[in-house]
Amino acid sequence: MNGTEIQEVFAESQAGKLTFPEVVRRSLAAGVESYFCDFAQGQEVFYGADGSTHAAPLTLELDPVAADFSREGIVGAIRGAQADTIRYPEFVKQATAAGVIGYWAYLTGRKVVYFGRKGEMHVEEFPRKS
């Protein structure tokens, strides 16, 4: 796994410079198989297909995670990111407001699992390529 490239992608994503498809493409190219974003701890951990890991702190200012999980809220944030009407900084605000405490992005599995504070989950498959 290429830690330097992962750090560049991570920084550009937090700065709102990349779309989610760009993050996926570049992360896969850097050897990332999946990553876990923990809003409670304020970090992401990247997992390589070779078994390696790379942790990085979130530099975004994080709002407290809402106590109640809103499936509609997280789906709205996902749709905004898919339509490129919002980028990662706004996505994080909407996700935490929707009660998402963390998510696991399975890049090779083409899905993301979002977790609430009480064990709620929402599974979002990547859009099919047209």
pLDDT digits (tens, 9 = 90+) for 61-110: 999 999 999 999 999 999 999 999 999 999 999 999 999 999 999 999 99
Burial of 129 (0-12, 13-18, 19+ CB in 10 A): exposed
Q: State the CB neighbour count (10 A cutoff) for residue 123.
A: 10
- Domains present along the chain, CATH in parentheses: 3-125 (3.30.1810.10)
* Helix 3-14 with 88-97: angle, nearest 10 deg: 70
Q: What is the pTM of this model?
A: 0.93
